[in-house]
Structure 1
Amino acid sequence: MRRNAIWLALFAAAVIAGVTCLSIVYASPFARTWDEVDFTLALHRYDLLAMQPHFPGYPYFILGGWIINQWLNNPIIALSVFNTLAALSSAVPMFLLANRLTDSGMKSLLLPALVLSSPYIWLMSSRPMSECAGMALLWWFLWSIRFAMDRPGSMLRHGLALLMFGFLMGTRLSFFPYGLALVPLWYGIWQYGARGWQRWLRMGCSALAALLFQLLWIAGLVLSEGTLAGFWKLSLAFVEGHFSEWGGGIISTPMPLGERIYQLIGYNLLGSALLGGSILIGLWLVIMVAAAVIGRRFALPSVQGNENHRYIFWLVGCAVLYTLWALFGQNIEKPRHIVPVVAPMLLLIFVFIIRTAEGLKTSTHGTRLLRIAPTILYALLISLISIQVVYGAQLQKRQALEEPAVYQLHDYVSSLQEPLLLFTWEETRVLQYLQADYDHQRIYTYGYFQALAGSNPERRVLLTDHVVHGFEQQGKSVKEHVKQLAEFKSDALFDPAYAHVILYEWVR
């Protein structure tokens, strides 16, 4: 048995090392989206007002990328490498957390192998986006919560959890629903030992520490902006715009609730974030979980402490709360916003598989099939990880080599010699980063477009399909006034919002 555990640990270590190396080798050289351009430009000059990056500033992510960039002098690659290193560091809390929940020793290394090879998470680790760094810190935070629950009276462990939450918020503020995990820690402080004024003192110290760890990164943002009043106005303007105009939430992007739920759960969570668009991975995952469900009927029940049960309860609560936040408050077009839910999903699946396998080893049922059932479950888990590695490596290479649709648009328009004006939506941020030498402008309203388009009759007017759709949403049908010039495509897994760009010419 010990020899099997060693082989499983070696396999997991090889997967983790291979995933890390391929993430660096195939680090994406493209700034594909508005946000990626914001982060990349921030390494040259950190300026919230210029959206370098946009609010809330992501200071720890930018700091990490800036440090790496001192050696690489390539902001896009530097942010991608920082993400890869952050993902590698998360293998430590994953291992510790899995071992605490399953008591499986070195076999717990299979959890970081499973998570880090998950195709979509792996793709995010080689891109200049803050989600991967946020996911890494989420794992550290989730482990610190469980670590503190073992000794509810330890202010050192409690303070570590608050510190990790501060790092998490300063890296990815949108992960705030996971702050719900702090509730059992505060409850533990309230229940543990002290009485009367001592209880209130400990709660006050905890609240003060939590506030200070958040002010640590917020103060840096205020200083970078110059004044508290200026920072406050900027933050209010950004939050208002996010929820009312362009953020992709339920107010700024009206969509039937049923359709929105299907988009979030069916396509974003299951199809993209969990399975990476692979039917084979989905089928294998179903087979593995089904085998564990059947085996669970014959396995001896695992003995778990109340802390583990309580931890899992609050973890599920955090995932549900975050899902609601993603449903109503986040951009429904982008699967990356639901990635934080993949962490507890994979953790719970892993715990269920391992507990079932270990429970079958001590089962009193003596049939030959049940004796080999644990081996079958581990084989299914190893096979799933192997499939993810092969499929994910192919995605990594394609993401690094295939030109995004917006880049293709830029190449095409650059080849046109005559005077022109290109109207876009979010594509304009990428065009600015590419230093396009032709006139291009982000357009909001049809009336303003008409004024600009008619100001110079000798100049060709081009516009993208996203602009046309925006006019249609304003009640302006312009199909009879446009003719299609070109069409550009990239993989929707890499560019969910701009994988398909159609270029039109305005016919006066």
Structure 2
Amino acid sequence: MKKLTYDKWKSPAIVAVSLVVVMYVFGLQLSSLNPFVSSWDQVDFSLAIERYDLRAMRPHFPGYPYFILGGLLTKFIVAEPSQALVLFNILIYASSIFPVYLIASRLISRQSAFMAAAIIYTASYPLIIVNQPMSEGAALAVFWWYFWSIVTAWERKSGKWLLLPLFLFSVLLGIRLSYIPLGAGMIYLFYKKWKDHQIGFSGLLTYTLAAGVFQLIWIGGLIMTEGGIANFLELAFGFTGGHFQEWGGTTASNDLSIIARIKIFLFTNIFWWGIFSRTHVLMVLYIVIGLFIFWPGTKSKLFKNMPFTLGVLMMSAYGIWALFAQNIDKARHILPVAVILIFLVLSAFFKRYPSIYSSLLILILLIAQAMVSANLVKTQANEEPAVYQLARFLEETNEEFVLYTWEETRVLEYLKMPYSHKRINTYKVFLHDQSLYKDKTVYLTDKVVDGFRAQGIEIDQRVEKIKSFDSEKIFDPVYNEIILYKWTP
């Protein structure tokens, strides 16, 4: 009996179902624009739509000018600043289906490539981040176009094509500067061109200058808005110093051992959050697909294929950066690793098993993933974050009080809450400040209380738990639960 392969057994039905699933998720995103601004960074980006000012953290350094520009364009469609940013994310992220398909079609059949693109687009945790007023969503989309441009430039003999990845890399950094390690892919491209004698030293110098010019477009704009290079550098050093030494959650500012950090990075952030989306059904399906890849049998030759090697290289480069230089408490920082890994796994799976049965397995994953994503997108757009619940609760309190918070006060300012609230970091400052409010009730959030405990303060006898506010952890791993305490002088 002749072997039934996917290439010979074309199945328009499977492709049609995949297309319907993609369109359903896209339509749901458009009809469920997230209206909430629930974190410090989200406030920064949303305020920047109304007035761009780096010194006022509208947004914070380095300014993400292309992301803000995208939000300004979509503001003509949606008036609310945060939702304008979400809409921009959704639209540009939807465009990434095309480069993912084009890259995958160089490794596997076109039908399989379309399914791979559908899986990556509907991946639940990336969609959650896309539906927030944060730059990661747009950055992921530009990343895929950048990935495709490298592959295309490698295939073409004309040197003009080398300008495309240089330009897209500048757009990528103008949206999300922390994606700079993905430049390893461009370095690899030029190494291949030089090794194949397609460009020489003068060519490398020319394209290096071109890369600098493209980056200077957005960096130069920021320098102008800050009134000169001295002011810009002052902001730059202040931000990077804080990120790497104080509040950034990097290895330099975090007490976790390297083993504990790797464990969280790999198993919690990449797999449980980034790929499985904290869902057991998706975990089982992805693990089954992964086991099939390592099942004894015919080995594929994907590692000899330039797009696959390129994906491994960029995933590794960014992974090292994310492990040591990004906040381990925020899983969103591993998104490039998660989506590239999904791409590589699907490519390897379809390469080894190009049958209708393997496509049906991926279709099951696609439908299950879309159902999870749909539920999360709707929940994110309709259920108030914990910080909003806190804000409303205190707004209805009929007494004079002052609230001390950690980062929550940034959101309270954005919501224009009418009561007194202050950000506090140290116990000594708090003791002095609260003494000024003898006739008022003093409230603290749990992050403040935990911070005092970390400073060695025995505070449990002086605080009384009032109320707890909860929201979905996958939307905000840090402030999904807020506990309100009352201070006893």
After TM superposition, is the score higher than 0.5?
yes
Alignment partners' CA distance in 2, 1:58 and 1:42: 10
Q: 1:69-468 alignment to 2 at 5 Å? A: 69-102=75-108, 104-151=109-156, 153-193=157-197, 199-294=200-295, 297=297, 299=298, 306=304, 308=305, 310-358=306-354, 374-468=355-449
Alignment partners' CA distance in 1, 2:60 and 2:447: 22
Alignment partners' CA distance in 2, 1:137 and 1:178: 12
Cα separation, partners in 2 of 1:443 and 1:399, compared to 1, 3 Å? same
Counterpart position of 2:60: 54
User: By how many angstroms is 1:303 displaced?
Assistant: 6.4
Cα separation, partners in 2 of 1:402 and 1:216, compared to 1, 3 Å? same
1:332-365 alpha-carbon deviations (Å, 9 max, x no partner): 111111111012101111111211123xxxxxxx
Alignment partners' CA distance in 2, 1:305 and 1:349: 12
Alignment partners' CA distance in 1, 2:301 and 2:438: 78
CA contact (8 A) 1:405 1:489 kept: yes
Divergent runs of 4+, >6 A: none
For normalisation by structure 2, the TM-score amounts to: 0.95
1:446-481 alpha-carbon deviations (Å, 9 max, x no partner): 111011011121111111110011112222121111
CA contact (8 A) 2:405 2:445 kept: yes
Cα separation, partners in 2 of 1:436 and 1:207, compared to 1, 3 Å? same
Match of 1:63 among 64, 69, 78: 69
CA contact (8 A) 1:408 1:488 kept: yes
1:6-45 alpha-carbon deviations (Å, 9 max, x no partner): 3333222222211211111112110011111111111100
Counterpart position of 1:34: 40
Query: Structure 2: which amino acid aligns with 1:343?
Result: V
- Give secondary structure in 2 for the equivalent of 1:280: helix
User: By how many angstroms is 1:302 displaced?
Assistant: 5.3
Alignment partners' CA distance in 1, 2:209 and 2:292: 48
Comparing 445-454 with 5-14, greater Cα deviation is found at: 5-14
1:111-130 alpha-carbon deviations (Å, 9 max, x no partner): 22101111111212222111
Where does structure 2 lack aligned partners over 5 or more consecutive residues?
1-6
Where does structure 1 lack aligned partners over 5 or more consecutive residues?
359-373
- Give secondary structure in 2 for the equivalent of 1:484: strand
CA contact (8 A) 1:16 1:112 kept: no
CA contact (8 A) 1:24 1:126 kept: no
Q: For CA contacts below 8 A with separation 6 or more, give which structure has more relative contact order.
A: 2
Cα separation, partners in 2 of 1:304 and 1:31, compared to 1, 3 Å? closer
- Give secondary structure in 1 for the equivalent of 2:25: helix
- Give secondary structure in 2 for the equivalent of 1:140: helix
- Give secondary structure in 2 for the equivalent of 1:247: coil
Comparing 374-383 with 4-13, greater Cα deviation is found at: 4-13
Cα separation, partners in 2 of 1:305 and 1:268, compared to 1, 3 Å? closer
Cα separation, partners in 2 of 1:304 and 1:347, compared to 1, 3 Å? closer
Query: Structure 1: which amino acid aligns with 2:182?
Result: Y
CA contact (8 A) 2:303 2:309 kept: no
Aligned residues: 483
Identity %: 36
User: By how many angstroms is 1:3 displaced?
Assistant: 6.7
Match of 1:493 among 474, 482, 488: 474
- Give secondary structure in 1 for the equivalent of 2:106: helix
For normalisation by structure 1, the TM-score amounts to: 0.92
